[in-house]
Amino acid sequence: MLPSSDTVSTQGGAIALDHQATTPCHEDVMTAMEPWWREQWGNPSSRQHRLGLTAAAAVQVAREQLSDCLNCSAEQLIFTSGATEANNIALLGHARAVSRERGKPGHLISMVSEHHAVLDPLQQLRSEGFRITLLSPEPDGLLDPKKLEAAISEDTQLVSVMLANNEIGVIQPLPEVAALCRAHGVTLHSDAAQAFGHIPLDSQGLGADFLSLSAHKLNGPKGVGALICHPELAVEPLQWGGGQERGLRPGTLPVPLIMGFAKAAELALSDLESRSQRLEQLRNRLWEGVKQRHPTVLLNGHATARLPHNLNITIPGVLGSKLHRALRSRVACSSGSACSRGEPSHVLMALGRSRQEAEASLRLSLGRSTTDGDIDQAIQALNDVIHQLRHKA
């Protein structure tokens, strides 16, 4: 028997500050999905009857709504299972296609601080003969465009730089990176999963050739995302089947999830400015509330060029295992990416933090539902735990 939401153990009264791992599905999103699970259950590839035609029309409307939100054409938007799959299609598919055209594997550039959904596909390409360069960020987490330009060589075919980092929240200077790539005739990919719905995102203004997105980071459903593809760039599919999504992502489209994705994007953009301002104020209050009591606490990442709902801090002089164990019942947060496999954050270590410092770090990410009271309780919990651990030490 499958567990129900009532039988699964939960964090109880812990303050939820891990919204960069995922977000709760918005009530309006669930309402938008509901008919497509039951009454309108057709396969959008079945065009010989009304159920299928209705589903196909709904997918097209959702595709156009999302493309309007992103300032791209509907034809550029490929539905995927999430940003991880989108990253794999862009990186593996494009690199292999260009390699086939040129007759040999080329050179790919990214950053040490990327998500594993970018780093792992690059390692796969390395095993296939591609040359990989991983640039280190500056101490504030940002990429120095001069280092990127110096790394570009004659055989460089692709650069991948995350728009907003999933751990430290820093926002990279992507338009400047895009200009460099264009000047050298190099394709640019960006994982924008953490950015979409939280900061203004204009795909044309950013200048990236490929953008990866995920619905569950903006109060949408898990299991759906998208890849924005430059229409003139070659991409080899990673799997083959029914030819859906321009042959790049075959398989029956999940109509309810797609409808939920479109609704989540609409909701996110409708209050983006006011929500960002509110969460930034709460985030700053959280930082100041801890910093005032414990001045040695360190901020990870650039102070202002960061997502409004992200705070990443290192607490010197305490053991990470004890820190997280003591906080678990009061604050639901993390030490890094949800996909970190239990290892210390490679992002923080790329900034110069030691292994012990990386383990004694917290990613605190706010969400749409975060309140003033949540922040007050979180400040109290953090201060109590830090004091307790340092006093025992």
Q: Which residues are catalytic?
A: 339
43 closest CA partner among 34, 33, 35, 53: 53
First vs last Cα of the chain: how many Å apart? 46
Q: How is the chain split among helix, strand and coil, in percent rounded to 5?
A: 45, 15, 40
| Contact assessment for residue 145 and residue 137, using Cβ atoms and an 8 Å cutoff | no
What is d(CA 241, CA 244) in angstroms, rounded to the nearest whole number? 8
Q: Is 47 exposed, middle or buried (0-12, 13-18, 19+ CB in 10 A)?
A: exposed
Where do runs of H (alpha helix) occur along the chain?
27-37, 50-70, 83-88, 94-102, 116-127, 145-151, 174-183, 203-206, 255-270, 272-293, 320-327, 346-350, 355-359, 372-392
Residues 6+ apart with CB under 8 A from 218: 23, 196, 197, 198, 264, 265, 268
